[in-house]
């Protein structure tokens, strides 16, 4: 048997504690944080980095069952299958025997480019494509070497295919060779396949876990069960950062099954009350029976109506200039242009609304802490958890679970929800009742006390002529910063501007734009939301470009192509747009009366998605609602590893984006308190809202792949809005849509 200690040394790279911690979290200030963590790995001898060790990622049982670990968290985007496909391609594994699993917070599982643990930014396939190809190739080379050693023949005389090494009149399955192979040196250099020889990459492939998910057998973070485990829920203050002034737990303690009622620290300095019980229902009933007076003195109490007025006023004043040169053009000519558009756009706070609410299970011992949850940033979390429970980072073990959705909610830079769960475990220990505990957030808990996409206002002042030539585009954005004050501030907060706020502006159109930003401080915790800044920048850009085309009586597709002409960076946009146009029949078929075309194209996270949609209206007057009849997507993500997964991602993103246009799809505040509670007052799209026709056309490419978890969302809402404008003559300046 392989030595477990050796496996652990390989996973951590045989690192010292200091180096281990640096590699684990990129310096806890990873992404921006410790650029040295990534550069140190890059400078290491090939084949020696923790991220290059086959034994950390691949295990093969004697019967040939091959398990390939995913260095990220899968929340439905299918990366556990995608990364396994990449590795299995070079490994020449028998795909029918491939299984998948997850890594943890150790150094082997950092993003190889960022040097920290991160599932986000649609980076999984993009950043680990080369890594997993090399892992597969190195593993295969070691298996072949082991067979050559066993048979006493040159390795070059042997071949490997479908999980078997053959040659010299003999053959052996990978399972027979694996243990001996893993004792051999890891090769420094390996020869990778010519993409033309790919057998698995590029083939539509169902998820390895599809059967488990469809049958209900798949376990998620919410499903973790440990012996002697209790369940806890937390009563949080009605206003963020509130504290307990007075607590009466007498009635809660009378509820059958309630074991303890404990004050606990919350994220950002607030305080809550944990009710610990034998199960969720008892904990919830106990929480309902609590009597808590809250200290809310001195806290900001955000109010959506007041914030809207404040943001609109700020948008009329110059903000901090966006630091990129393309945003600092001379736009003084806009006011003298013969045609003008002045428009204010409003986007509300949004909850992530993932199907599986948050849950984190903590098993705290004197010298070890095991934590079970769907972790998007386990390295950063491990550091925060170690501090919370008073242990060393290497004494914390995170068991990454499959997630039932996430959209960014599970990646809080402050490690908010796992820290809160750990705080409950600490409180139980201190109260003399140590036990494993699962802390559960209900849907209402997350809607009323979670993190949100920032509320955002845009103001555009555009001047152009009768041909659509833009003389100047003055633009201002008002939005809270996601990064400012967080451990990731150095990553994208430059010269007073949060880059996540401005991403998606201007490109791919070579137009003179001046962009500035206001970042107000508001007592609302904000976080990235699927496609981050592109959720609002794509909408603004693509509806305004469409409006200029309409005003100047030009075809919206032709006008976009005209603006892209001569811009080499826009080639992928043109191809994606053309793919959607060709599939939809745009310009070649006549729509039914009461239907209209809508078009939009946008790049986010280095992938381009274009939509051509067909929409109609139902209802009358202010009660009118759009009906999405057809959606045709054109996708350029470079090499497509799994077309089936890309299709699913685009379809899901389109439906999620459709939700943002629906009445009541928003989070609002009154006197500091969230007004929504669940799906009944925060509209979500249902199956009856889905279009009857939805196609996804992927542009062929052999260039290294880009991400697809997020890019399908941004262009859908503007494409629908553009169709609605043609049906009503009314431009939708806010989400969700509002009809006059």
Tens digits of residue pLDDT in 63-73? 999 999 999 99
Could you tell me the pLDDT band of residue 42, with boundaries at 50, 70 and 90? low
The total of other beta-carbon atoms located within 10 Å of residue 590's CB is 7
The position carrying tokens 């062929």 is 700
Q: What is the mean pLDDT of residues 100-111?
A: 97
Lowest mean pLDDT among 23-37, 165-179, 310-324, 543-557: 23-37
328: DSSP letter:
B
pLDDT at 10 over 50: no
Mean residue pLDDT across the chain: 93
Q: Quote the pLDDT of residue 18.
A: 33
HSE-CB for 243 with a 13 A CA cutoff: 9
Q: Quote the pLDDT of residue 491.
A: 84
Q: Beta 625-636 vs 607-618: how paired, if at all?
A: antiparallel
pLDDT, one tens digit per residue, over 251-292 is 999 999 999 999 999 998 999 999 999 999 999 999 999 999
pLDDT at 159 over 90: yes
Report d(CA 316, CA 655) in Å as an integer. 34
Q: Quote the pLDDT of residue 2.
A: 40
pLDDT at 3 over 60: no
pLDDT at 183 over 50: yes
Q: What is the mean pLDDT of residues 176-202?
A: 97
Q: What is the mean pLDDT of residues 406-410?
A: 96
Q: What is the mean pLDDT of residues 192-216?
A: 96
718: closest CA among 630, 635, 612, 622? 612
415: closest CA among 268, 241, 221? 268
Q: What is the mean pLDDT of residues 518-530?
A: 98
Q: Quote the pLDDT of residue 566.
A: 87
Whether 617 and 628 have beta carbons less than 8 Å apart is answered as: no
Exposure string (b/e) for 144-172, b if CB count within 10 Å is 16 or more?
bbbbbeebeeebeebebeebbbebeeeeb
Q: What is the mean pLDDT of residues 179-202?
A: 97
> Quick one: tokens of 728?
């009503």
pTM: 0.94
Structural domains in the chain, CATH included, are 4-198+208-215 (3.30.365.10), 221-296+358-440 (3.30.365.10), 315-350+452-728 (3.30.365.10)
pLDDT, one tens digit per residue, over 638-685 is 999 999 999 999 999 999 999 999 999 999 999 999 999 999 999 899
> Quick one: tokens of 32?
């921006």
Angle at 400 between CA 394 and CA 406, to 5 degrees: 130
Q: What is the mean pLDDT of residues 382-410?
A: 97
Q: Quote the pLDDT of residue 577.
A: 98
pLDDT, one tens digit per residue, over 533-563 is 999 999 999 999 999 999 999 999 999 999 9
pLDDT, one tens digit per residue, over 337-352 is 999 999 999 999 999 9
Q: Quote the pLDDT of residue 22.
A: 35
Name the E strands within 85-153: 98-102
Could you tell me the pLDDT band of residue 46, with boundaries at 50, 70 and 90? confident
Query: Percent of the chain scored above 70 by pLDDT?
Result: 94
pLDDT at 15 over 80: no
pLDDT at 5 over 60: no
């Amino acid at each position: 048997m392989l030595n477990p200690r050796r496996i652990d040394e390989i996973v951590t790279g045989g690192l010292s504690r200091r180096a281990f911690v640096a590699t684990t979290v990129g310096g806890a200030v990873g992404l921006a944080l410790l650029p040295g963590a990534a550069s140190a790995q890059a400078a290491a001898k090939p084949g020696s980095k923790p991220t290059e060790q086959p034994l950390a990622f691949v295990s093969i049982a004697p019967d040939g069952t091959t398990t390939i670990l995913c260095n990220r968290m899968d929340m439905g985007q299918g990366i556990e299958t995608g990364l396994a496909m990449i590795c299995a391609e070079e490994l020449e594994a028998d795909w029918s025997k491939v299984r998948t699993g997850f890594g943890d917070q150790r150094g082997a599982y950092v993003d190889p480019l960022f040097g920290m643990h991160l599932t986000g930014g649609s980076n999984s396939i993009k950043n680990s494509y080369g890594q997993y190809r090399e892992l597969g190739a190195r593993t295969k080379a070691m298996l072949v070497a082991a067979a050559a050693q066993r048979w006493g023949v040159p390795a070059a005389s042997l071949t490997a295919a479908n999980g078997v090494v053959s040659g010299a009149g003999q053959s052996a399955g990978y399972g027979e060779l694996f243990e001996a192979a893993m004792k051999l040196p890891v090769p420094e250099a390996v020869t990778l396949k010519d993409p033309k020889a790919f057998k698995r990459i590029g083939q539509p492939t169902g998820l390895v876990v599809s059967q488990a998910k469809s049958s209900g057998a798949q376990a998620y973070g919410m499903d973790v069960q440990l012996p002697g485990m209790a369940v806890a829920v937390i009563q949080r203050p009605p206003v963020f950062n509130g504290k307990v002034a007075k607590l009466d737990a007498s009635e809660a303690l009378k509820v059958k099954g309630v074991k303890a009622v404990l004050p606990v620290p919350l994220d950002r300095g607030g305080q809550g009350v944990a009710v610990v019980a034998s199960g969720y229902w008892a904990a919830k009933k106990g929480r309902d029976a609590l009597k808590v007076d809250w200290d809310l003195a001195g806290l900001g109490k955000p109010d959506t109506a007041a914030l809207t007025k404040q943001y609109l006023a700020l948008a009329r004043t110059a903000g901090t200039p966006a630091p990129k040169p393309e945003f600092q053009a001379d736009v003084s000519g806009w006011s003298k242009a013969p045609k003008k558009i002045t428009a204010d756009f409003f986007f509300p706070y949004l909850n992530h609304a993932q199907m599986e609410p948050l849950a984190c299970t903590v098993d705290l011992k004197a010298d070890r802490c095991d934590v079970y949850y769907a972790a998007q940033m386990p390295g950063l979390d491990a550091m925060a958890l170690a501090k919370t429970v008073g242990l060393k980072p290497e004494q914390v073990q995170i068991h990454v679970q499959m997630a039932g959705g996430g959209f960014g909610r599970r990646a809080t830079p402050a490690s908010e929800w796992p820290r809160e769960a750990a705080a409950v475990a600490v409180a139980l220990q201190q109260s003399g009742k140590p036990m494993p505990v699962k802390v559960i957030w209900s849907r209402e808990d997350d809607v009323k006390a979670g993190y949100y996409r920032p509320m955002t206002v845009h103001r555009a002042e555009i001047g152009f002529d009768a041909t659509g030539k833009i003389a100047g585009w003055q633009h201002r954005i008002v939005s809270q910063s996601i990064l400012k004050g967080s451990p990731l501030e150095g990553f994208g907060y430059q010269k007073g501007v949060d880059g996540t706020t401005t991403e998606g502006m201007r490109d791919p159109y070579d137009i003179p734009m001046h962009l500035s930003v206001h970042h107000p401080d508001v007592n609302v915790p904000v976080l990235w939301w699927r496609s981050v800044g592109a959720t609002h920048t794509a909408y603004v850009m693509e509806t305004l470009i469409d409006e200029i085309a309409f005003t100047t009586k030009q075809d919206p597709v032709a006008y976009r192509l005209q603006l892209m002409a001569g811009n080499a960076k826009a080639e992928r946009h043109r191809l994606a747009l053309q793919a959607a146009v060709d599939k939809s029949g745009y310009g070649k078929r006549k729509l039914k009366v009461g239907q209209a075309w809508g078009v939009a194209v946008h790049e986010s996270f280095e992938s381009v998605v274009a939509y051509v949609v067909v929409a109609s209206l139902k209802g009358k007057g202010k009660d009118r609602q759009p009906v999405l009849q057809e959606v045709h997507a054109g996708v350029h993500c470079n090499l497509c590893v799994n077309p089936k997964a890309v299709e699913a991602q685009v379809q899901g993103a389109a439906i999620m984006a459709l939700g943002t246009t629906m009445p009541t799809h928003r989070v609002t505040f009154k006197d500091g308190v969230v007004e929504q509670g669940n799906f009944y007052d925060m509209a979500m799209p249902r199956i009856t809202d889905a279009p009857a026709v939805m196609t996804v056309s992927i542009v062929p490419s052999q260039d290294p792949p880009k991400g697809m978890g997020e890019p399908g969302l941004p262009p859908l809402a503007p494409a629908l809005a553009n169709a609605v404008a043609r049906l009503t003559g009314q431009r939708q300046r806010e989400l969700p849509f509002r009809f006059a």
